[in-house]
Structure 1
Amino acid sequence: MKRRTFLMMAGGVAGGLVVAGCSSDNGTPATGGTGGGAPAGGSKVLSLYTSSPKDQYEPAVAAFKKSGYEVEVVSAGTGELIKRIQAEGANPLADVQWGGLGQSVAPALASFAEFVPADDASFLPDYQSKAGGDKRLVPFSIMLNSIMVNTKQTGGATVDGWASLLDPALKGKIAFADPAKSSSSLSQIVNMLHAMGNGNPEDGWAYVEKFAKQLDNKMQGSSSNVFNMVSTGEYAVGITNETNAVKYAAVQPEIKTVYPQEGTMVLADYVMLIKNGKNTDNGKAFINFLTGKDYQSKMEEYGLRTVRADVTQKNFPALDTLKVVAENKAWMDANGSKVKDRFMDLFTK
């Protein structure tokens, strides 16, 4: 077996859990992420698990605290947090899990409670509860997969889609996160399978095997590492969601956002109410805040697509201008849980 190299994000988020104890407005420190314990004389405490990047979750937490809440944050990759939620079982230490795509949060579905947010009727039609989705998964934003390119580092290779990533000039220059830790990375593999399989994901594995070899035995320990390392020029290309690529492209002329010409998938990023949480009402209030019009109207500042129909955004290309591939639900139901392990087999082969 070939030796694998996992590059961990500076600061340790990928290697473990980062606890951010956010003070309440009166200066009382939070309990350090252990969850559940409201301060003396207070009941407006929220324990939050999040895999959202720091520059996204910190403004949201700060705004929510203005309503008098004390918030304690545990930040880590989706995979790590899902394992923690599963391990905690019927005695959860958090009230809300913020961040995660469907396939990555599926192992912990039994740990989430159904909740329809107050403004559900204002969501885009496909994301309203009446659309038939699992009510344990509340859509917070819409995500598209993209390719982030540092044009100074490509060695002359043209990057315009999934197939172009197989250019020999790019071997070892592609940043990609460990799908065991990153929900976005897992979604990107699923996207490749659908796009390169021409509607039959099983046929896409031939491409994915070649892509895995292009990584040259290197994989990032977190999704944050991907866009950071492309931005600094350590890698020429990164597979990431459009949020990150668009933000960097806006301030760095050498950064380009590419939507794969073979097709990208449109996915919901979810926020979940944890069943039997110690502060359930506060968890519901936080989800209503995240999906409310006031906060959703500001999401473009953080590079996020809104899930609401009544919020206008300017900096993202309209979906009807991109080639979008749909999920083969029958195939995913039968094979989705195997994608991560099958990819790792190819990566280590």
Structure 2
Amino acid sequence: MRRPIIVLGATVALGMVLTACGGDDGETTSDGGGSESRSLTIYSARDSNITDFVVERFEEEHPEYAGNVEVLNLGAQEVLERVRAEASNPQADVWWGGTQQGLDAGAAEDLLEPIEPAFAADIEDGHKDPDGRWFGEILLPEVIMYNNAALSEDEAPQDWDDLLDPKWQDQIIIRDVAASGTMRSIYAAMILKESPDGTDPQPGYEWLTQLDANTAEYAANPADLYLKMSREQGVLSAWNLQDILIQAEQQNMPFDYVMPASGAPVLVDGVAAVAGGDTDAATEFLEFLFEDGLRAELAADYYQIPTVEISEQPEWLANLDLQPMEVDWATIGQHETDWINYWNENIKNKG
């Protein structure tokens, strides 16, 4: 039932008829280049500014896809749930933007297609699936976000525990956790911070209860988070560094960040071909996504930290004082669902 197969088959058949009748020059599509038109469906947790930019470049370099790349922007957890729900009849070809633990879950459930792209050898082992089912594209540090029109850098919290200070009651806005790969990872990292082996999440639950007491609202999506923060309905949040910089530098939002003194959880954000989708098209898109020139542009203009070294680092990245928090992502992968479900049922809006 996949639309790309139906459309392509009909187009080829029509081309054969026209050729036999001598009414055309044998083109199988209307793209004007004599090549078959192809389509691609992407589920992405990336900011729409990034997906729009990349897709435009992809279509320029691969005109056979022009006008036929569909992107559905969702939260990272929502992408996993949608791909999972569509497993018997896949609708997407590419999963673009997901946490390591989310992609590992997809791989374990046979939702991802193993591929062997040329760039795979350049990615270190900890940033990719050993069986080629997903590949880390960028690193996402999770930091403290603040409204710099309301707070100075010195006034903003300097570490994670500072967010629990009662003076910040009703001053924190949090992106709804359950649907967000970023927030699930931050909250899971905070639980692990309080119980490093993950066997007793209760101290972490108590930490999150205190954070909930200071949280004015849970924003439904990133756009809602940015709007509420810019209006000072809350002046603090926890979010990923890339999106903060994009909003501040490209959208003129009054946002800045603090690199937490105890360290920032650094996510591996990856990409994969969806099992049952168009694997050839997915591979072609992934190969394009890892081209050095594009990665350099995304680092310079969209504040991405690539997993594969680029020929020249932009100034902001070269000067980034990144302080990674030591996080056992494998342990988080084992417990994240249970931890977030507990938070959702027993802590959210109850602090």
What is the TM-score normalised by the length of structure 1? 0.79
The amino acid that maps onto 1:158 is A
The amino acid that maps onto 1:166 is L
The amino acid that maps onto 2:174 is F
The amino acid that maps onto 1:233 is E
- Give matches, 1:162-177, under 5 Å: 162-177=160-175
Look up the match of 2:348: 347
Look up the match of 2:115: 115
Q: Structure 1 residues 114 and 178 mapped into 2: Cα distance closer, same or farther (>3 Å)?
A: same
**Structure 1 residue 246 corresponds to structure 2 residue 245:** yes
Look up the match of 1:212: 212
8 Å CA contact retained: 1:148, 1:230: no
Structure 2: gaps spanning 5 or more residues: 12-27, 29-35
SS in 2 for 1:234: coil
In 2, distance between residues paired with 1:242 and 1:79? 19
Look up the match of 2:316: 315
SS in 2 for 1:287: helix
Look up the match of 2:21: none
**Structure 1 residue 152 corresponds to structure 2 residue 149:** yes
1:194 Cα deviation after fit = 3.4
Larger Rg: 2
In 2, distance between residues paired with 1:275 and 1:243? 29
In 1, distance between residues paired with 2:315 and 2:84? 39
**Structure 1 residue 231 corresponds to structure 2 residue 241:** no
**Structure 1 residue 44 corresponds to structure 2 residue 38:** yes
Q: Structure 1 residues 34 and 225 mapped into 2: Cα distance closer, same or farther (>3 Å)?
A: farther
Look up the match of 1:9: none
**Structure 1 residue 272 corresponds to structure 2 residue 272:** yes
Encode CA deviations 1:8-63: one digit per residue, 9 max, x unaligned: xxxxxxxxxxxxxxxxxxxxxxxxx9766545343421111112111110000001
Please identify, of 68-77 and 92-101, the stretch whose mean Cα deviation from structure 2 is larger: 68-77
Look up the match of 1:257: 257
SS in 1 for 2:162: helix
- Give matches, 1:82-93, under 5 Å: 82-93=80-91
SS in 2 for 1:315: helix
- Give matches, 1:182-221, under 5 Å: 182-195=180-193, 197=194, 199-201=196-198, 202=201, 203-216=203-216, 218-221=217-220
1:347 Cα deviation after fit = 1.1
Percentage identity across paired residues of the two chains: 21
8 Å CA contact retained: 1:171, 1:214: yes
8 Å CA contact retained: 1:36, 1:47: no
Look up the match of 1:100: 98
In 1, distance between residues paired with 2:168 and 2:126? 37
In 1, distance between residues paired with 2:95 and 2:51? 12
SS in 1 for 2:263: coil
In 2, distance between residues paired with 1:75 and 1:334? 26
RMSD: 2.7
Paired residues, number = 310
The amino acid that maps onto 1:139 is G
In 1, distance between residues paired with 2:196 and 2:88? 40
Structure 1: gaps spanning 5 or more residues: 1-32
Encode CA deviations 1:274-322: one digit per residue, 9 max, x unaligned: 0111x22011100111122121111121121112123423213667x44
Q: Structure 1 residues 248 and 73 mapped into 2: Cα distance closer, same or farther (>3 Å)?
A: closer
Please identify, of 57-66 and 220-229, the stretch whose mean Cα deviation from structure 2 is larger: 220-229
1:187 Cα deviation after fit = 1.0
The amino acid that maps onto 1:184 is T
Q: Structure 1 residues 205 and 323 mapped into 2: Cα distance closer, same or farther (>3 Å)?
A: farther
In 1, distance between residues paired with 2:196 and 2:263? 11
Larger fraction in helix: 2
8 Å CA contact retained: 2:135, 2:271: yes
- Kindly report structure 1 stretches of 4+ aligned residues shifted beyond 6 Å: none
8 Å CA contact retained: 1:95, 1:273: yes
Look up the match of 2:337: 337
